[in-house]
Structures are given as C-alpha cells and as structure tokens.
Amino acid sequence: MLYGHQPAEDALREAFMAGRLHHAWLITGPAGIGKATLAYRFARFLLKYGDPRIVESAGVETLHIPPEDEVFKRVSSRGHANVLTLRKPWNDKTKKYMTVLSVDEVRRTHDFFGMKAGEGGWRICIVDSADDMNTSSANALLKVLEEPPAQTIFLVLANHPGRLLPTIRSRCRTLPLKPLSHDQLLSAVHGHLGHMADGDMEAVAKLAQGSVGRALLLAGGGGIELYREMHGVIASLPKPDVPAVHALAEKLARRGNDQAYEMFRELLSDWLVRLVRQGAGGPAMIDEVIAGEADIMNRLAAGASLDRWVEVWENTARTAERAEALNLDRKQVVLGTFAALETAARG
C-alpha cells in the first residue's frame, strides 16, 4: 500500500502514457517513506500492461495491481524473470547484510540485460538503494545507465541523492517523495497501531518524521520506550544518571539487539538536530515528544555553543559508523557517546 505520494505516481503514469518514459528514475526521500513501495508498484504496472494502448482500452487510471493478480504474486516472490533488484548481499557467515552494494552485485545487470527479455516486454532494474554503493559499484552502474538497452527502465532509490555521483544524477529523472503530514501519517498507520495508547501513537508520529516505515519500526520495535530511556539520561545532564547510562548501554549491546541499537543511533542523531534547531530558534521551535523536552533542550543549548553541539552530532555519527566497520564493542560506543554529551553539557 502506498500512502500520500499521488503526485509521484501520477508523474510516472503520465510519462508512460505519453510515450516519454525516461529510462532511469531517481526516486528520493527519507528512509521508510515509500520509495521501494512506489518502485515495485510501477514495476508491476509496466509488467501487467506494457503498452499505453492496453491501459487505455482497459480504462485503468492508477498504478494499482491487485494482490491476487499473477504479476503481483510473481514480483512479490521475486519470481519474475524481467525484474532485477540490486541490494546489499546477505553474508551467510555473519548472518548480516554486507555493508555495501558491491560492484559484483551491479555487474549482475550484464547477464540480465545481455539476454533477451525472458517474458517479453519491459525489463526493470530496481536499485535499493544507491546510498549503499561504493565508488566501484557506482561507476559500474553509471556505465549501464550510459548505454541502456531498449525497453528497459532503472528505478534507483536514494535516501541522500546529494551523495551520489553527479553523473548518475544527471542521467536520471529525479522523482522526490515528500514526508507525509502528521495527519496523513496517523491515517496511514492507524490500522497497524490501533492497539497503542493515543499518547504513544502521537509520539510515534512525531518521531517518524513523515515516514510510514519508520513509524511501524518504532511502534513494533519498542522505539517509544527506548526514546524515553534515552531522554531520561539526557535530562540528567550535565550530571548523568550513571546506573541508567550503563543499563541502557548494556541493553543496546546485547546479542540480537541490532535493531534497537540502530534505532538508538537514529533517535539520538535526530534529537541532537532538534536541540540545535531549538537553540537557534527559541521556545516554539519544536513539537515536544515528551513534556518538558523544549526546556531541557534550551538548558543544554545555553550551556554550550550551537557549533559545539553540531560537532557532537557529527562526531557521534562518525564514531558509530567507524565502530560498526571495525566491529567494536557497542557498549563502549554508547558509553562514549553519553560521555561526549556530558562534556558538551558542562560547557
């Protein structure tokens, strides 16, 4: 199901119906906003109809293909020969996805496009996501984009399009997806979160920043409880509640708690961004998730320069990324993060 992105859906459909369908589309927007949902929705539409005249004769006005349709089933099960999805490979040894979308993965396009379409019609390559590529894989993708085979389309997904090679961006038509409004988000997730208390549902909507995927992850992964724990520690600064800090660090470092750890990283990063905005704009800048949050942000922002807090935000993100790359102890990373916050809070 796709929520709130009718303009983007219309742009794809209108380009197809007018015979002006660009061979590569860069679908952009925050993680979890619906980029992959839109990409697969359009892929199913192309595979089902293939020609604007068929769409016209069928009187079809949207990209919707019902779940019981054979095309829908085969694309969902990754059993359609005309769809290739490029993503980070799974590592059987570590039981995790690889850290990058490798050049070998991108080179799968050689065989895919080198053969005649297995079932005739369109061939579709979905890159999910371009943010995961390194220099080698990005250059490999660029080469394919420069010489696209006939009746093929690339749907390239990116959370941070500005980080992509300019030459990749220039060969794609950009299709930005905007975050949902607060009301749109609540409407989209209400059926999934109806069991939650109204206050918790509101908190999820505020933290999700317009992303349905993130809202569902926060709700299903204990995100609100985690945010309250994190906020409780931050509220105690510059004299941190040491037992609470260690309890949270141990919880996040437990085996099998990868999702909570990643959620913590994102929640803390977003909190620091909101702190800087609050400090720069005054009491009315943020919509509080927890009562009294703005006062805490104002107090901390007054204790150190905003440049200092921006530095903390950058350093904590950089340290966490380096720790993941080197497989360092997550407990020490969390403890080090709160130590950096404490130092900044002391001014």
Domain boundaries, given as residue ranges, for the chain = 6-176, 221-345
- What is the predicted pLDDT for the residue at 114? 80
Mean pLDDT by 10-residue block, N- to C-terminus, for the chain (347 residues)? 88 97 97 94 97 95 96 95 94 83 95 76 95 96 92 96 96 95 84 79 90 91 95 95 96 93 95 89 70 91 91 93 86 96 92
Give pLDDT, residue 93: 82
Token code pair at residue 248: 């949270």
Residue 282 has what pLDDT?
A: 56
CATH number assigned to the domain with residue range 6-176, chosen from the 4 options 3.30.420.40, 1.10.3720.10, 3.40.50.300, 2.60.40.1730:
3.40.50.300
